Amino acid sequence: MSQSVRTRPEGCGQALSEAYDTALLDLDGVVYAGGDAIVHAVESLASARAGGMRLAYVTNNALRTPDTVAAHLTELGIPTGAGDVITSAQAVARLISEQVPAGARVLVIGGEGLRVALRERGLKPVESADDDPAAVVQGFGGPELPWGRFAEASYAVARGVPWFASNTDLTIPSGRGIAPGNGAAVEVVRIATGAEPQVAGKPLPPMHRETILRTGAERPLVVGDRLDTDIEGAFNGEVDSLLVLTGVTDGALLLAAPPQHRPTYVDADLRGLLGGQPEVSAVGEGFRCGGWTATAGAERLELDGDGTALDGLRALCAAAWTAAGDGSCTLDAGKELARLGL
């Protein structure tokens, strides 16, 4: 994928599972939601794997270990080994190991996933700012993480100890709704110290590097539901991406996406891996996909024709992204999205 400004979703004449050797799949909102498999996910992933595509699961959540994530996926009917799971804990542990001496102590503010990843890199997790840590690392610790852990991080960071964060996602989905994520916890320490952490997780390069090192992918396809982590991470890594509409991104967010948030492909769910992608072509002053033609008016996007909702959305993306150029589209598309049921 080039870094030129994307003005329309791309087409692909063969199944994505054949065009790419490895799918780098986000988990929540892509494979499962609230712990349960998303519709079509299990069978779609099984078909992609049977066709020769490697499946790797890439998550910003540093709480769970790869073994735990793999066991959960296997229980859902998606056979997975720990080596198929890449976490932001692993990415940040590698980042730390490159900057501190071998065997160094690292103050951990988070869960078991961080501790396992640090030990894998030969580092020693500690619990107190008084343990003479060479670094401080924060990762999502779950709802039971004591408030005092933030104080420990603040004491060490204020003394000048290098500070790292697995990721800075402000929110995390739960079975009851949206909850504060690790980014919210990082803000607590930032407010207390005025310092800035080094961050490893999506959409930043350390996470992409970790996935490539661990999978050996030569033609990877990032598959995600979030524009600001999954799709931006693919953009930063200069690889192609597939946005699925089973998570947090809806049609309005997609149409307003700035260049770094525009996916290569758009599909409803993981069945998109199993087929090609339709071409979006310029027609006069508009863009056609399937039976739909989309144009950008003075104040709103307009859609004419008939066909599948996805083809209509792809055509609207082309009109919106072309009109926006290297910015975010502000044209109203509410009526047309409602017409498509999106």
Active site residues: 26, 28
Query: Collapsing DSSP states into helix, strand and coil, what is residue 286?
Result: strand
**132 Cα distance to chain centroid:** 34
Cis peptide bond N-terminal to 203, omega within 30: yes
Please state the φ and ψ torsions of residue 5, each to the nearest 5 degrees: -65, 125
Q: Which two tokens stand for residue 33?
A: 């939601």
Euclidean distance between CA atoms 38 and 222, whole angstroms: 18
Residue among 269, 265, 255 nearest 303 (CA): 255
CA–CA gap between residue 296 and residue 184 (Å, rounded)? 38
The answer to whether the CB of 298 falls within 8 A of the CB of 286 is no
In this structure, the strands spanning 32-33 and 36-37 are antiparallel
